[in-house]
Structure 1
Amino acid sequence: MKKRYALLATGLLGAALAGCGDSGAEKNDKAIKIGATSGPYSDMVKKAIQPQLEKKGYEVEIVEFSDYIQPNIALANGDIDANLFQHSIYLKTFADEKKLDLTGLVTVPTAPMGLYSSKYKTLDDVPKGAEVATPNDPTNQARALHILEDAGWIDLKDDADPLTVSEKDIVENPKGIVIKPLEAAQLPRAVDSVDVSAVPGNFALAAKFDLLDALVLEKMDEQYRNLVAIKTADADKALAKDLKAAVESDQFDKVIDASFEGFSKPERN
């Protein structure tokens, strides 16, 4: 079960945050805990969100997690007030299966999946018949196939569900690429053994890849962007509003531009 949830999350990977609080609450209600997976998303909370909340009087503690199970359990139990680590597909799947009442509040810039190679410098350099490693879980393989289609290497059925498209939906393969499905965690290492590897952003960052070294980064669908998650009961409380305002602020964008190069930004109204 842990393996299944880890793969669903794609880079990371994925994201979430939010919490409880009320603008007229006592001081103790301003002491909050925000959970995040260790690495770029806990850094994002620390650098881009925490300072803004503290200016509004919150006392923020960041709780780091090393897996994709406990952050949502902790949120549902009230041990933390918000979390940031997952995308909306993972959140819905996890919450439905565990019968948790959680809600995505606002999406954040997210590390995209990319095509990486230790043999070739550009997409045009990759020869016909190249071996391409892709994630073997359905959600992330669909993302990888869309990157390959955008690169002009394959064509997919027009009527295929974009979220569940698989190898059987490939109708044209003019480059003659050979797809090699692997567990997502193996994809960074596969860069040295195949021609090209489609690596989800969270695994790329964990392997110390520079996102900008990718041959190409995905055109990320909004459903794959990490988000701030909260308990549904807290969606109209002051903390939820303050978290959303922080993520959508100019100050937040400045931190992202300075410290999170290559992250794909959500579209804002």
Structure 2
Amino acid sequence: MRRVLLTAVIPTLLLSGCASTTAATPTERPTSAATPPTVAALDEALSGAWRDPKNVARDVHRHPKQTLGFFGVTPDQTVIEITPGGGWYSEILAPYLRDKGHYVAAVWDDAIPGQPKYRYESNQKLREKFAGNAAVYGTPDVRVFDPAKPDFGAAGSADTVLTFRNAHNWVSDGTAPAYFKAFYDVLKPGGTLGVVDHRAKPGTDLEEMKKSGYLTEELVIELAQGAGFVLADRSEINANPKDTTDHPKGVWTLPPSNRHDAADDAKYQAIGESDRMTLRFTKPTSAR
């Protein structure tokens, strides 16, 4: 299927359905007539002094403004981010949604024993980020779920669900269909599922995908459609043509994981972060 580059129309997408909304921003400032309110609010969140400089340095690879614009995220929505880790996107989304919307960070339930250590550490780091910072983040909802039986809240309660570089883990664990079904259930009719993940070459077999951490677009689309979603569009915002996807330690060879020999560092830094698919799905308006 043909991929569409949508960077040129991001301002239009940012405004879809909310052109008259005036968004409160972390630091109030006048908005010129030439700058749409939603764009100004997102710019404010992106430029916030609270953002970790190491996270800001990755904007060139993760393209948050274009990505959130493509997904149509507006400041008045209820947005659920799935397993945000230490909070790379939380630093942007929570302030952006603070006053008019609602940010939900869906995290693995800490009360379930025997999970990988990084899950507990990520949850702690995220909670520490939010703690005592209501002026910046508001009061985000850190919502726990069982990774074996994912459930993200009341049916039809969210406008948008976002997942960044997570789907390959669910495919590896064999839980991907359950996750996509849970996304479908929690979204309102007409709601959006935004997926960004490492992209494998077409035709890559399942075992290689599990080993490498890269997924084909075809597999992700099949999973989403199997849950009831409709593919609304795809974008090359997060594409990286330098990534050959055939690295010795899979996607983790590349930044930011950098699981490679020190002698090869310059080679992999020159490639940058992985080639990524960016897919937008919708829950049909006729769904109940």
Provide the TM-score with structure 1 as the length reference: 0.32
Q: Which has the higher contact order (CA 8 A, sep 6+)?
A: 1
